[in-house]
Structure 1
Amino acid sequence: MERFKKALKDVFVWDGRDCMYIKNEKERVRARCAEEKCPWLIYVARNSKTMAFEIKTFHNKHTYGRDYGSNLADRAWVTDKLEKRLATQPKLTPREATEHMKQDYNVQVHPKMIQMALKAAREIVVGNDKAQYGKLWDYLQELHRSNWCMKFAITLYACRNGFVKGCRPLIGLDGCFLKGYYGGQLLTAMSLDANNHVFVIAYAVTRAENTENWMWFLTRFQDDLGDHQVHGWNLMSDQQKLTEMPYVHAVAAISKLRIKVTEDFVSPYLTIDAVRKTYDLCVNPVNSKEFWEKTDHPKPQPPRIVRPAGRPKKHRTESGAPLPLQ
């Protein structure tokens, strides 16, 4: 029911109208437009048979225009919306936040409210990210309980087993940026299954993508997977390209030889049997964090934020004029 009321508030903020609750209980809610003669009405209650909430009555028609004096977009509501935005855009500026509220929620928020809400949202997001670092050892313990894995550079047993038994002996290495407040790099080792789908084998989070961190990751990856010279693993970085004969040309060449049993030309890594071997084991789900076993290890601290040298870049509008208030 709380999710419904949040969604209802979002609708009224977008429409620029005020909402009034006629009945506001845990099992049922009846709400209407705040204008006295407006027929807009909605009634939601729990279904006794399915035990799910459903809309019983809905009159979706307003007879009044937008109310520019609506107070539904309060600081708590704005903070909640900016908190979600900061999760993917940690360097959000007040001007960008104002534009985000205008474009995504059709509401013009006062600059002072934007500043206060952005500050509160940033404290929540940064606090949550910092708390996650303190739970790394507990998370690792939970991974060992549900899925056998290698420490720090995580290789789940189901992924390792699937690669060894069913994937072609080609390992692709790549890294990408993490867009959280503390940043970092995600290093990955992956392969391709029989259906040419990406199959992740191992991954790790490091402060930066450099030779030292790649050596650390690959050393632990080799300890878990085995020596590439013994097993014949082939490594390919993101700067290398793989070329091969197109399937159409290969089929034409086989047809020219007039060979009836074309299966002899199919690699065992591209068969249904290879798919079964790759996905023979599944990755077991982990418990919710409140059920994790607490460890005695000291809580890790988040990395220190290193600001780049020089003045930060500013995003300016073409006219340079402030956004008008409605």
Structure 2
Amino acid sequence: MDNVVEPAIRIVKKSKKAAGSRLKNSMVVVNDAPEEVEADTVEEEELELPADSDAEGGVRLNFKSFMPEDLNNPIFKLGMTFPSAEIVRNAVTECNLRHMVDLKMPRNDQRRIGAHCAEGCPWNLYVSKDSRTKNFVVKRYVPEHNCRRERALRRCTVAWLGQKYLDSFRADPKMTLGNFGRIVQKEWNLIPSRSKLCRARSVALRQIYGDEVAQYNHLWDYGQEVRRSNPGSTFYLGLGDGHFSHLYISLDACKRGFLTGCRHVICLDGCHIKTKFGGQLLTAVGVDPNDCIFPIAYAAVEVESKATWKWFLETLKQDLNI
């Protein structure tokens, strides 16, 4: 704007009805020089100057914004805006892997990001934060490639694989590493190592189910919520050397329902807990008048042994006043 000669430019407001959600009033920049610039000749990549309803008689720049759905197949353009630097880095990584080229980012900080391809390749990208839009704007972009494709890409990381196939593991948590590797090879023509695939699967499952260590830290809060929401419930938590050892839970509604409406027969069973830390789940159930299983209490212990069964039955006896 500093290089524009003021008398040679005027802004004309055109009033016409637009179809759909377009604005009714638009601003067209007209040059008083002999050659007039018509609005139809303005290309999509050029910057438009629409009217700003918030400012009094001012103009604002309208850039093309990068949408989240564009991350699957990013296409950069001059003047395109990004809300954060992290989205710019993700778009560069996606472009790197989709075109199978080894892109480098020598400039990568909170205000500017510069990326280029291999030596001799004209592909170049420079994005920096703009003070007017308060976003990151593409200032320089050369889209042509003349380099050869790479098979081993450093940006194919464990975090990228885990995030990319998060929905696949959510649909099939028991996907094998062989099937996972074949899917990656088919979609991206990449062959990651087996250890990388294993770590990527762990990252995806941790995001889906949460961190198991952090879940153990919430047991005290869970016990307090059980006592608050169902008064009379029993919640015992045992620790060994500061770590989880055993757990006993019996809801008050289950205890009263068994004593008043079920047959006075208790059935016992145990099963394995197939998680990272393992353990055994001991259960005590009854039979209701409809001959259906009625839960009474359950306990989580380290191993199934005579000592753990004795502790579970003694606790159940005291809980039911047998």
Q: TM-score, normalised by structure 2?
A: 0.41
Richer in helix (by share): 1
Q: TM-score, normalised by structure 1?
A: 0.41
Richer in strand (by share): 2
> Could you say which structure has the larger radius of gyration?
2
The one of the two structures with greater contact order (alpha-carbon pairs below 8 A, sep at least 6) is 1
